[in-house]
Amino acid sequence: MKLPLWRRGQDRELDEEIESHLRLEIADRVARGEPQDEAARAARRRFGNVTVVKEVTRDMWGWVGFEQFAHDVRYALRALRKSPGFAIVAIATFALGIGVNTAMFSVINAVMLRPLPFPQPAQLVDVAELDLRPGQPRVPGSASWPNFFDWRTRATSFSGVSAYHDSAFTMLVGGRSVHTPGAVVSADFFTTLGVPPTLGRGFRADEERAGSDVVILSDSLWRSEFGAARSAIGSTLSLNGRPFTIIGVMPPAFRFPIRVPAPQLWVTVADDARALPGDEPMTTQRGAHYIGVVGRLRPAVTLAAARSELDAIAAALAREHPDDNGTRGVMLTPELDRLVGDTRRALVVLVGAVACVLLIACVNLANLLLARGAGRSREIALRLALGASRRRVVLQLLAESLVLAGAGTAAGLILASWCVRVLTTVAPTDVRGLDEVTIDSFVLAFTAAVGFLSALAFGSAPAWLGSQTSPRSAASDDGRTTAARGQGRLRAALVVAETGLGVVLLVAAGLLVRGFYLLVHTDPGYDTTHVVTAKFNLPEQRYSYLKQIAFYDDLFADLGARPGLQVTGVAPMPLSGSRYTLSFELAGAAVPQARRPSADFALVGPVFFRTMQIPIVAGRDFTAADSDSAPRVLAVNETFAQMFLQGHDPIGQRVKLSLSTTEKETPWREVVAVVRDFKQKALDEPSRPAFFVPYAQGLISPMFIVARTTDPPARVIEQLREAIGRRDPELALYDVRTLEEYVGRSVAAARFQMLLLALFAALALALTAVGLYGVIAYGVAQRTREFGIRLALGARPQEVMRLVLRGAMRMAGAGVAVGVVGAALLTRLLGAALYGVHPLDPVTFALVIVSLFGVALIAAFVPARRATRVDPMMALRAE
């Protein structure tokens, strides 16, 4: 017999023990006078077969438990085969519970737990600037290049600290213009992240200087545009009209900053170090906050230590540059936490929901097992009478739960892998990791653990109760009654608990659905229908600042003149997820620069407000006459007028924005319009002060074209393409979308969370209904004789039915009461996801209560009708 390693030593000891036994007996016999060889023979004969003794002794070493378990499992399998209906319902119920939990956990794993794909990912921290002005939320904000440069030279906590920001490139390859998302980074970017290029080299420090036009490509861009040719290194690529030298290619999996779509190329900060028309380069503008910063902590430097060092540096910078940095702080967050961001809360809610579903599934299983145990009490009593210990009986019943859980877990995994596939196709794509959800070994381990613990959870009470049968009842007939009564109470309590859980989930889902309904029906402040938008970049090489303005002027005039088409421009595009903010100064109020308030800001084209159908409360819309040579103007929204221009007629007030273009000094601008508030970044944002400037008086970013038309979008896009291509064939039109698509994208995450929660709530409701049905049906079966007697004594069928239904309603009522209290305590956790719905919204609560009672009635109706059909004679004879 081959023994496992850890048993071999023990086996040698046993050999030795037997050896010593024989020696002792031989010695005894010799002492009594027997000859040595005879004594040895006698001792051996007396001892018996050494091999057999060893074998039976070894059996005591612990295999016994395992063998008994194997036996129990075989027995359980046989028992389950005998009642396939029970087995299928139980396994399917458990598979549902485990399946949704596995799927959700694989999401959590991919989004929150799986480390970032960089070496020593725990060392990476996000370094952000904080706006310390009173009234501003303390949220991580973008940094400016000069501040970043100072952090980089002064801080000693980091082995590397690097900056990055998204940038769009128009790439000229093979005579085609292709829009390509990319990033502008500091030269040490790849070193800090710890990922070198697979081909070529990384950036050198001296390549941060203006004029060093080098680029590193993503693996996919290298494959798609350069055929994965090694000769691509060293060749020239035209980006935004300027030649760049390709110096490296990143590995296929490298993706940072994490964006959708993923950046395809990286250039150095040299791109931002170029002098701008009429302005300093971005790398010297301390007040221009638009970059992200990632640092790698030195080994043994804690986050807290790095925080205090950076705080000190930020304080020093505030003293040195009071105008720009007087109210700027710094904030360090582990990079993974920063990336998970707002997703955490939504995921926690969803995890709570699937945990509820699993609990409900477990309660149903416990109920099924209790009913089954009651039916088997005679069999168990017999086993007890035959000498089985209660412990053995409990273990055997638990083995059955484990078999059910095992089969359910296997089925649940199949369900989960299917769920994951569906999930990844419908999930919003802007959450890091959501496109990499897989059932890996960690998820499998989690599922196995949950499956096992659940089996103990739903199996232990039925197993224990099952073993409490008296052995004596094996012989008599009434064994079930006493045991059944205690079980009946437990079963009712379980159903109450599961109804309560179901109520909590339904209320949560109901609130989210209502919140989502409110969200998508929020008036954004403009008409979102029949609007097509698109974007293109004008290469600065060939388009000076004034030429860019002229290009837009000409384009808007041309397109706007076409029949059935209203055309204007805007930047940033409402609901595209970006927001510009700018500080300003009011005439007559001398405020130091660092304390100046700021407001949302957008560049807009002529007739923007009319085209978007944003009501103008006072004043006039912008026109083509608001040109670079015209007096400087701006429009403000109502919130701005209320907050900053109160008590005056807003029209004609003067405001100075930190936005200058062709002027020597930052100009004062005159308010020419007050417009109704509209949603800039998200539908659920509260009203914020905002102002709007004609693009010709401060063009600082490429404009989106906004076209309103009743024509089909495809035709409008064709016209746009043609109009742009005719002016410059090297321009690439991108981000071509309708405004309604932007609305859809901005609510995608909310829609996803709502749909998932609604799905889980529906599952919970179905399982609760099954649980209620099971308990009521079982109760009716138990009381067949009672109903028979009642009917025989002249009770009318309706009375019997009412009796059953009343019992069901009592259970449902208790469950609803528990659930309503639970929901009232828990719905607050949904927080911002509710979009203005009160966590105790009475309509939702009322609807849930009514629907639960409805479901309970339906679940109780079938067994109740069965109760009225009891044949009194049959019922009596059955005894």
Partner 1 sequence: MPGQRYQNRIELLQGTLDLLILQTLQWGPRHGYGISQAIAAVSADVLKVDTGSLYPALHRLERQKWIRAEWTTSERNQRTRVYELTRAGRAQLLHERSRWEQLSAAIGSVLAHSGEIPS
Residues that bind partner 1 (CB under 8 A): 13-14, 16-18, 20-21, 23-25, 27-28, 47-49, 52-53, 55-57, 59-62
Given the complex with partner 1, which of 21 and 721 has the nearer CB atom? 21
Beta carbon nearer to partner 1, 19 or 871: 19
Q: Which residue has the tokens 């399946």?
A: 99
Query: How far, in Å, are 260, 465, 589, 694 from residue 649 at the CA level?
Result: 44, 80, 17, 21
Specify whether the CB–CB gap between 251 and 199 falls below 8 A: no
Q: Which two tokens stand for residue 665?
A: 């000094």
| CB 4 to partner 1: min, Å | 17
Which CB atom, from 55 or from 799, has the smaller least distance to partner 1?
55
Whole-number minimum distance, CB 47 to partner 1, in Å?
5
CA distance 180 to 705: 19
CB of 140 to partner 1, least distance (A): 59
CA–CA–CA angle 600, 604, 608 (5° rounding): 115
Please, what is the minimum distance in Å from the beta carbon of residue 52 to partner 1?
5
Give the up-direction half-sphere exposure of residue 85: CA atoms within 13 A in the CB hemisphere. 2
Residue 52 or 139: the one with the smaller Cβ distance to partner 1 is 52
CB 15 → partner 1: shortest distance, Å? 11
In whole angstroms, the minimum distance from the beta carbon of 61 to partner 1 comes to 7
DSSP assignment of 826-859: HGGGGGGGGTT--TT-HHHHHHHHHHHHHHHHHH
We find the least distance from the C-beta atom of residue 62 to partner 1, in angstroms, to be: 7
Calpha distance 496→500 (Å, rounded): 6
Which CB sits closer to partner 1, 56 or 88? 56
**54 or 681: CB nearest partner 1:** 54
Nearer to partner 1 (CB atom), residue 24 or residue 591: 24
- Report the residue number, 71 or 230, with the smaller CB distance to partner 1: 71
Least separation in angstroms between CB 23 and partner 1: 6
Looking up tokens 């859809």 gives 744
299-336 exposure pattern, b = at least 16 Cβ within 10 A, e = fewer = eebeeeebbebbeebbeebbeebeebbbbbbbbbbbbb
Q: CA dihedral in degrees (784, 787, 792, 797; nearest 10)? A: -120
**Sign of the dihedral through C-alpha 651, 654, 656, 660:** positive
Alpha-carbon span 622 to 634, nearest angstrom = 9
Q: Does the bond joining 713 to the residue before it have cis omega, within 30 degrees of 0?
A: no
- Work out how close the CB of 391 gets to partner 1 at its nearest, in angstroms, rounded to a whole number: 13
Phi, psi for 845 (deg, rounded to 5): -60, -45
**Tokens describing residue 131:** 């706006």
Question: What one-character-per-residue DSSP string does 606-667 give?
Answer: TTHHHHHTPPEEEE----TTS-TTSPPEEEEEHHHHHHHSTTS-STT-EEEES--SSSSSPP
Give the residue with the Cβ less far from partner 1, 10 or 578.
10
For tokens 């707002």, the residue is 342
Distance CA 770, CA 763 (A): 11
Instruction: State the minimum distance, in angstroms, from the CB of residue 51 to partner 1.
Output: 9
Query: Could you tell me the smallest distance in angstroms from the CB atom of residue 41 to partner 1?
Result: 16
Nearer to partner 1, 57 or 481 (CB): 57
